[in-house]
Chain A
């Protein structure tokens, strides 16, 4: 009976897998390339403007200000409910740049504001971004240890 059930489930899963409509790769790739590219161009533009307006600023500091600006724009667009529409169109194109990271922190903060500042916003803020931060920290530790021995 058990073996039969397993076989039945496997067969059903295979059948469903064949039946599921596939997403078309080329249009999605094009959309994410387009939007991702626009975000990158925007970042470069901001960087260049900062360097024009503040000629004495070092390039490193200008990068930091560029990131801050992009994070602000994404958080603002999330707040007024536009970023999720961009995300729906662009997919990976708006998730991979730093704006996606900003969106992943802002959106739960908005969502859980009714549960209060501490238990709502502070606790839930990193539910999506948390794993990314953990991965970043852990991988940097590993790379650091390897670097120590080379």
Chain B
């Protein structure tokens, strides 16, 4: 008997606000029109890329709070993480806010990790309003994990492009919006991949493990979801995941896709696709949230994947462990449109009187 990894929320925390901000290259990608803000150059008016990443996170958090139509004082807790050493972008961004902060590290899976933890805290009545945020920047990640930007080297075909972008969302115990109904916390899975340029293959087994655990724990099948979306497995990794799931006897159909694979257009030269915390965070807080709010998607299984590697460990010959957390988000839109309109009007009035 395997331990249960899935949490089912009784009160279903609501996502009342979301915001995404991306770099110029991402703005020209497939999801360009959906993002809230596209910055004009990678440095975002700062003198270093680390500061730019921090500023993007701050903007995303502020944007999400504004989108939720609440005051910053209403927020109880900030859950954030990023890819840099000592998660500096998140901690330094948290300096600007007057609420409690918990720093997380789940590599590129941080968006789901923060939302799962936030939803658990809200469901347990520990906190009322929680902001979840994460971001990444191509230039800072390149510098930390790979080579200087101006070095004239070629990338292998399996390599991925770290997304410049940050996303944030506000979870609350009440309000209107898509609801988080379940979360599956993933295990660290390592299938012995050593190539740091092949993250997709390193993370796919973790995605497979979490997906299997989720379907087992909740008694669901892929057909129960309108969209199953993994974080940043890329082109190669998502193909591997489909194969791995088929070995387990589950066929992923057309409702499965991968954020990294979808992110850029074909001639943007990103080889295997996008990666990084910002990859799943920005797509979730723009495209997927919009579709959930419109009611086009009723039930989404969102499962960002992360490669928990460091350059030191890799240089010492360690293999790359992967992790994947999954959350289920359900749309609150019912077919009766009038009722929906009424409720939104009511909400507007209440806010106005305040």
Residues of B within 8 A of A9 (CB): 190-192, 319
Q: What are 25 A-B contacts defined by CB distance under 8 Å?
A: A9-B192, A10-B192, A12-B205, A16-B198, A19-B201, A23-B156, A28-B154, A79-B150, A85-B152, A87-B152, A87-B154, A88-B152, A88-B155, A94-B152, A95-B152, A106-B150, A107-B149, A107-B151, A108-B148, A110-B149, A111-B148, A111-B150, A112-B148, A114-B47, A128-B148
- Assign chain B's interface to a size class: 20 to 34
A13 close to chain B: CB less than 8 A: yes
A20 close to chain B: CB less than 8 A: yes
A110 to B151, CA, bound (A): 10
Q: Contacts A20-B157, A20-B158, A23-B157 given: A111-B152 contact, CB under 8 Å? A: no
A10 to B261, CA, bound (A): 26
Closest to A21 in B: B157
Q: Are A128 and B147 in contact (CB under 8 A)?
A: yes
For A, the interface residue count at a CB cutoff of 8 angstroms equals 37
Residues of B within 8 A of A79 (CB): 150
Q: Are B154 and A103 in contact (CB under 8 A)?
A: no
Closest Cβ of chain A: how far from B296's Cβ, in Å? Answer: 33
A30 to B148, CA, bound (A): 26
B220 close to chain A: CB less than 8 A: no
Number of A-B contacts (CB under 8 A): 89
Q: Are B153 and A87 in contact (CB under 8 A)?
A: yes
Q: Are B198 and A20 in contact (CB under 8 A)?
A: yes
Closest to B235 in A: A21
User: Which B residues lie at the A interface, using CB under 8 A?
Assistant: 47-48, 50, 143, 147-158, 190-193, 198, 201, 205, 236, 239-240, 243, 319
Q: Which DSSP category, helix, strand, loop or mixed, fits chain B's interface?
A: loop
Q: Are A12 and B151 in contact (CB under 8 A)?
A: no
- The residue among B47, B48, B154 with the most chain A CB atoms within 10 A of its own CB is B154
Q: Are B201 and A16 in contact (CB under 8 A)?
A: yes
Residues of B within 8 A of A88 (CB): 152-155
Closest Cβ of chain A: how far from B319's Cβ, in Å? Answer: 8
Q: Are B151 and A87 in contact (CB under 8 A)?
A: yes
Which of B143, B192, B240 has a CB less than 8 Å from the CB of A19?
B240
Residues of B within 8 A of A110 (CB): 148-150
Closest Cβ of chain A: how far from B317's Cβ, in Å? Answer: 14
